[in-house]
Structure 1
Amino acid sequence: MRHPTRDVGLLLLTAVLAIAATLAWRQWTSPAIASAETQLQSRQRLAVLPAGSYDNQPLDRPLPRPAAQRPNSRILAAYRATLAGKPSAIILVTQTPGYSGPIVLSVAIANDGRLIGSQVVEQQESPGLGARLGDPQLKWLGQFANHQLGDHWALKRDQGDFDQLAGATVTSRAVITALQEALGYFDEQRSVLLEGSAHE
């Protein structure tokens, strides 16, 4: 006949060993996971810059963010890309409310205020609809390249210059507004972003 106390003790020992193994595994893998996430985020932020357009490590030295923010979006970070010691582009990381949650974009802007490119860093939009905004095969974000602040930043259905992401009007408008406001932020803060400040 089995002793109930022995069974309980065995169950407790098994539970303790399982918890210890789980904690040890988490402790061992957490740094690797965090490092992989950081590398992915860095690649996403820098993917907006053409190869050969910079020779520094822009993300290593974030720029100070002036207090001025946008009506519909928020600048989270700013970085300066340089080539041969001279500014070649500014990367702005901006967040805007989407249909299902915040959309975070990395936006590269040339010295003359032209949008070089944009990339989705985070989004929670509806699968198959708004979530397709970062789909590399769809290339929806590609239509904004080479546009400037003075262009018509609206959907064609709203008398603007841009196509809508099919089935995702709210997402499309949110991204267009965020890109326009990023260009406006750059325009207002151009000297600080390109020339630097005493805080660097």
Structure 2
Amino acid sequence: MNRTTSVATLVLLAGLGMGVTFLVHHTSAARIATEQRLIDSQMLLDMLPAGSYDNQPLDQPLAVDNIALANSTLLGGYLATRSNQPSAVLLRSQTVGYTSTIELLIAIDANGKLLGVKTLKQAETPGLGGRIADWPNAWLHLFTGKSRTDPADTGWALKKDQGQFDQMAGATTTSRAVINAVHDALRYFDEHRQQWIGSSAHE
């Protein structure tokens, strides 16, 4: 085998190797993206009751992007529908806790009632405010069924602040931050209900 043939063979092998590497990477990237999408869907949608939607809510984002509210920031939102009728809204909210920012997912049905609240990210004190990340979470479950007007505005506070909610033991600041963020989200939903839900909701 002469030098020219050897170089040509090496170039060919290198080209084949690059092609195979690209193909494997492209195929793997698509598979990884699909798997990540499934994980995201499971994490974000498990608060919605089974059978309450038949669309892909993550494919129906709301025009909500870094909207500053009184005590929190809305990072994004999604619309769940059933038979092309809005059934719920999912809002991603960020607030400041005791030692970290806390990212919440807040699910609200078409009538403005909370379906649930879930912690997506946090770095609060382990064993205290960090318990906000537990799932299922008994303290966060206290909000299920509440709405913008139930309780009234003054009730959306800790009992020690003359409100209606207990705090997580040893986590006053974290508890207060979450309550305020949920209240913010409910107010924002109420202000945009007609735009998002229209007249399909029934009181």
Residue in structure 1 matched with residue 180 of structure 2 by the alignment: 177
What's the TM-score, normalizing by structure 1? 0.76
- The equivalences for 1:1-200 within 5 A come to 38-65=37-64, 69-136=68-135, 138-150=137-149, 151=151, 152-195=155-198
What is the aligned residue count? 169
Secondary structure class of the residue paired with 2:130: helix
The CA distance in 2 between the partners of 1:67 and 1:30, in whole Å, is 29
Q: Which runs of 5+ in 2 are unaligned?
A: 1-24, 199-203
Distance 1:193 1:156, change over 3 A: same
Residue deviations 1:65-91, cap 9 Å, x none? 278631111111111111111111111
Q: Which amino acid aligns with 1:183?
A: L
Residue in structure 2 matched with residue 12 of structure 1 by the alignment: none
Paired residues of 1:41 and 1:121 also in contact (CA < 8 A): no
Which protein, 1 or 2, shows the higher relative CO under an 8 Å CA cutoff with sep ≥ 6?
1
- Please list every run of at least 4 consecutive aligned residues from structure 1 whose deviation after the TM superposition is greater than 4 angstroms: 27-38
The CA distance in 2 between the partners of 1:131 and 1:38, in whole Å, is 26
Paired residues of 1:69 and 1:185 also in contact (CA < 8 A): no
1:45 Cα shift?
A: 1.6
The CA distance in 2 between the partners of 1:42 and 1:57, in whole Å, is 9
Q: Select between 176-185 and 27-36 the one with higher mean Cα deviation.
A: 27-36
1:58 Cα shift?
A: 0.3
Residue in structure 1 matched with residue 14 of structure 2 by the alignment: none
The CA distance in 2 between the partners of 1:143 and 1:79, in whole Å, is 23
The CA distance in 2 between the partners of 1:67 and 1:74, in whole Å, is 6
Over the matched positions of the two proteins, sequence identity in percent amounts to 46
Distance 1:41 1:131, change over 3 A: farther
Q: Which amino acid aligns with 1:188?
A: E
Q: Select between 31-40 and 86-95 the one with higher mean Cα deviation.
A: 31-40
The CA distance in 2 between the partners of 1:58 and 1:83, in whole Å, is 10
Q: Which amino acid aligns with 2:191?
A: E
The CA distance in 2 between the partners of 1:134 and 1:67, in whole Å, is 22
1:62 Cα shift?
A: 0.6
Q: Select between 159-168 and 136-145 the one with higher mean Cα deviation.
A: 136-145
The CA distance in 2 between the partners of 1:124 and 1:36, in whole Å, is 26
Distance 1:68 1:74, change over 3 A: closer
Residue in structure 2 matched with residue 9 of structure 1 by the alignment: none
Residue in structure 1 matched with residue 22 of structure 2 by the alignment: none
Superposed CA RMSD: 2.3
Distance 1:125 1:32, change over 3 A: farther
The CA distance in 2 between the partners of 1:163 and 1:122, in whole Å, is 22
Q: Which amino acid aligns with 2:56?
A: Q
What's the TM-score, normalizing by structure 2? 0.75
1:136 Cα shift?
A: 2.9
1:162 Cα shift?
A: 1.1
